[in-house]
Amino acid sequence: MRIVIQRVSEASVVIDNSKVATIQKGLVILLGIENDDSQEDINWLCNKTANLRIFPDDDGVMNISLKVSEGDVILVSQFTLHASTKKGNRPSYIKAAKPNIAIPLYKAFIKTLQSTLGKSIQTGEFGADMKVYLVNDGPVTIIIDSKNKE
């Protein structure tokens, strides 16, 4: 399981010209799911995300976590995070989980992150053609892969 975290000062998700999610200060998290991902990957990533100290303290040092900052979250599923570009010019998505595997894990990720943070998060829509608008604050963008824990 792979996530791209972007610290934002504002963000929104639009589907079919309708805004489905909007936040101010917080994180936009892009989530890519592989076939062999499990609840263990979800637990580790949600804990890491909630406690990652990437918000500025009073001195402007990145020392505050999402949990402490009380920032909001938009979570967006994105199978293209598992693109392989080793051969040719057309990416292969063979490592990305098919919907029958990915949807239950996506829903479990939402539930686990909400539980970890102690509040609701906003989401895009699995499989939809979405427009993600954001103002990357910093900019701060971090990629975390649950298969690279050590």
Examine the residue annotation and report whether 80 is marked as an active-site residue of this protein: yes
Out of 6, 78, 116, 123, which one is annotated catalytic?
Answer: 78
What does the pLDDT read at residue 149? 80
What does the pLDDT read at residue 58? 95
Out of 24, 39, 80, 141, which one is annotated catalytic?
Answer: 80
What does the pLDDT read at residue 47? 97
Examine the residue annotation and report whether 6 is marked as an active-site residue of this protein: no
Mean pLDDT of 130-137: 98
Q: For the segment 32-90, what is each residue's pLDDT rounded down to a tens digit?
A: 999 999 999 999 999 999 999 999 999 999 999 999 998 999 999 999 898 889 888 99
What does the pLDDT read at residue 122? 98
Going along the chain from its start, the domains and CATH numbers come out as 2-148 (3.50.80.10)
- Res 150 pLDDT > 90: no
What does the pLDDT read at residue 70? 87
Q: For the segment 10-21, what is each residue's pLDDT rounded down to a tens digit?
A: 999 999 999 999
Examine the residue annotation and report whether 39 is marked as an active-site residue of this protein: no
Out of 49, 55, 79, 122, which one is annotated catalytic?
Answer: 79
Closest CA to 125 of 77, 72, 74, 73: 77
- Res 120 pLDDT > 90: yes
What are all long-range contacts of 111-118, with beta carbons under 8 Å and residues at least 24 apart?
A: 112/39, 112/42, 112/43, 112/46, 113/46, 113/49, 113/50, 113/73, 113/75, 115/46, 116/46, 116/47, 116/49, 116/50, 116/67, 117/50, 117/66, 117/67, 117/73, 118/67
